[in-house]
Amino acid sequence: MTLLLFAIFLAACFAAGSTGALFAPGDWYRDLRKPTWTPPGWMFSVVWTVLYLLMSWAAARVAVSEGGGLALALWALQIALNTLWTPVFFGLHRARVGMVIIILLWVSVAATSVAFYLVDSLAGVLMVPYIAWVSVAACLNYSILRLNPELSAANPAP
């Protein structure tokens, strides 16, 4: 049962992660001014693969526990926001809307982590790398907005 649950949560992560291939960064992202600490491109797919495995494992543990309803509701919210960010940022090049989404994502991941911890402490711990990475991604989104003021135009050219 836990394995089936893990597979279903991982399928949801696959839907979210497929946006990385469908909405590839491309020339637009390459030509943006980025902070010196920007992680190299290859690192994103490696890190996300690990994070998706960890968050699916955590969710499967919570789903077999009692009283995980609130925690799983929050997990559903964060995976929807996770799916949304990449098409908005890399597809539409709307970095300001992306910033709003990633702040909401950060809050929802933090809430999910706390709710997971209260149901199953290991599940909560498994979410820590995710919240750390979303913090980095949010800082990167913010820095890109600051370094590329043309992105703050109402409708940046695609």
- What residues make contact with a copy of itself under the rule CB under 8 A? 1, 4-5, 8-9, 11-13, 15-16, 18-19, 22-23, 59-60, 62-66, 68-70, 72-77, 79-84, 87-88, 91-92, 94, 97, 101, 104, 108
Q: How far is the CB of 40 from a copy of itself (least distance, A)?
A: 26
Whose Cβ is closer to a copy of itself: residue 19's or residue 113's? 19
Q: Which is nearer to a copy of itself, 37 or 66 (CB)?
A: 66
**Dihedral of the CA atoms 86, 137, 24, 94 (nearest 10)?**
50
Question: Smallest distance from the beta carbon of 50 to a copy of itself, in angstroms?
Answer: 18
Nearer to a copy of itself, 88 or 144 (CB): 88
CB of 55 closer than 8 Å to CB of 82:
no
**CA distances from residue 8 to 29, 38, 84, 95 in whole angstroms, order as listed:** 32, 32, 19, 31
CB of 138 to a copy of itself, least distance (A): 16
Nearer to a copy of itself, 38 or 65 (CB): 65
For the CB of residue 35, give the shortest distance to a copy of itself in the complex, in Å: 26
Measured CA distances, 23 to 18, 27, 29, 125, 131 (Å): 8, 12, 11, 31, 23
Q: Which secondary-structure segment (H or E) carries 100?
A: helix 95-119
Residue 72 or 138: which CB sits closer to a copy of itself? Answer: 72
> Shortest approach of a copy of itself to residue 53 CB, angstroms?
15
Residues 6+ away with beta carbon under 8 Å from 91: 23
DSSP 8-state code for residue 148 = -
**Residue 138 to residue 83: CA distance in whole angstroms:** 15
